[in-house]
Structure 1
Amino acid sequence: MVKDTGGTQARTERRDAAANRQRILDAALRLFEQNSVEQVSMNQIAIEAQIGSGTLYRRYRNKSELCLDLIKDNVVLLFEDIEAYLEAHQTDPPSQRLKGILSLFIRFREKKLQLLTGVEEVSSPSGPQFKTQSPVHNELHGIIVKLLNEMSAGEQPLPDSVFRADMLLMALRSDSYVFQRDVRGYSPELFLEQLCLTFVPEQ
């Protein structure tokens, strides 16, 4: 009887893929610690991991996907914290709930600034001039739009909640946040206060 080696081969391939993934992530972390995320290229990561660039790109289409894999567990915890906060404060005014989740996100940004910067660097296949948004952005955007719409429940909707959420998240991007913190001198607390004064209607 001929033995079926298909299962063994598949397990070997899975082990190889898992090993390559870990080598990529370890190499990326080493390079990110030595340089800023923006200064590290995918080719540098492939060389550091001692794998072919094709192997790297088969797993990660871009640096954003790689950075997201590095912090995915933290991102899951962030949105679990946001969900728990909203559940615990569901009787609070929506403006207060929005301020609360913005505070959670700013604290998260402070802890994971470098990798979150990398996650934000997303381009569509059409080229860098056609930007798409990261999964973190998209999920947070949906939560913000819902709260902005809730603020005007029973009244006329706020002027384009989608646009307002877009502008709010632009202010929360790494480049904007770091500029306000390091150049303008705003602490995370003052940044949050100014953000709410600008984007969150008083109730």
Structure 2
Amino acid sequence: MKNTGETHTRTERRDAAENRQRILAAALKLFEQNGVEQVSMNQIAIEAQIGSGTLYRRYRNKSELCLDLIKDNIDLLFEDIEAYLKQHQTDAPSRRLREVLSLFIRYREKKLQLLTGVEQAASTIGTQSRTQSPVFNDLHEIIVKLLNEMTASEQPKSSSVFKADMLLMALKSDSYVFQRDVRGYSPESFLDQLCLTFFPVK
């Protein structure tokens, strides 16, 4: 005799997986058509043909939804960063940090809309939101480590945590888009300015 409880659990898991795919497909379609900021959670639920309660049980806000949409890409980004750092351990820390920032800026160019969506929680969650983003948490840790190496070998002692915070603020979507679209910096020249402002490259 079949275990009805086990069958029910499998059905629930299948339904949950199907709902997730419908939500992600609907969100991606709407984001590409209208931009992340213009799309509401209610519109996503309607497009996915599910109840809003089902949507909110899986995603509390658009930030979490955007993060799920780019999770695989983010994993690949950090794999590339780790591989680069491992292969260039003997390079000056300032050179390694420049390349880490370059990899992230190139990634931001490709996934600008969705990364903006990940950051949008800042306006609704409060001042702690930046530290709650796994993207910026992981990047912050890498930057601090490289800045600490620099402090020991290339520049006067300073607060690496504070400098990393400021660097990440400059890399946020609103700051990056302003510098690119209003100030006219290309991604490459934006990177040059970051390096000149925050650390010497030798």
Q: How high is the TM-score relative to the length of structure 1? A: 0.93
* CA deviation after TM superposition for structure 1 residue 42, in Å: 1.2
Structure 1 residues 7-156: aligned runs within 5 Å? 7-123=6-122, 127-133=124-130, 134-153=133-152
Q: Deviations over 1:110-149 (max 9, x none)?
A: 111111111112259xx54344121000000000001001
**Identity, % of aligned positions:** 78
What amino acid does structure 2 have at the position aligned with 1:135?
P
User: How far apart in 1 are the matches of 2:49 and 2:154?
Assistant: 60
User: How far apart in 1 are the matches of 2:52 and 2:105?
Assistant: 34
What amino acid does structure 2 have at the position aligned with 1:15?
R
Q: Is the alpha carbon distance of 1:154 and 1:97 closer, same or farther for their aligned partners in structure 2, counting shifts above 3 Å?
A: closer
Q: Is the 8 A contact 1:149 1:157 kept in 2?
A: no
User: How far apart in 1 are the matches of 2:153 and 2:90?
Assistant: 17
Q: Partner residue of 2:195?
A: 196
Q: Is the 8 A contact 1:180 1:191 kept in 2?
A: yes
Q: Is the 8 A contact 1:122 1:131 kept in 2?
A: no
Task: Give the stretch that moved more between structures: 155-164 or 2-11.
Answer: 155-164
User: How far apart in 2 are the matches of 1:185 and 1:177?
Assistant: 11
User: How far apart in 1 are the matches of 2:28 and 2:75?
Assistant: 20
User: How far apart in 1 are the matches of 2:171 and 2:122?
Assistant: 19
Q: Is the 8 A contact 1:144 1:165 kept in 2?
A: yes
User: How far apart in 1 are the matches of 2:146 and 2:200?
Assistant: 11
- Other structure's SS at 2:90 match: coil
- Other structure's SS at 2:126 match: strand
Q: How high is the TM-score relative to the length of structure 2? A: 0.93
Give the unaligned 5+ runs of structure 1: none
* Structure 1 ranges of 4+ moved more than 6 A: 154-157
- How many residue pairs match? The answer is 200
User: How far apart in 1 are the matches of 2:155 and 2:173?
Assistant: 33
Structure having the larger proportion of residues in helix: 2
Give the unaligned 5+ runs of structure 2: none
Q: Is the alpha carbon distance of 1:188 and 1:154 closer, same or farther for their aligned partners in structure 2, counting shifts above 3 Å?
A: closer
What amino acid does structure 2 have at the position aligned with 1:129?
G
What amino acid does structure 1 have at the position aligned with 2:62?
K
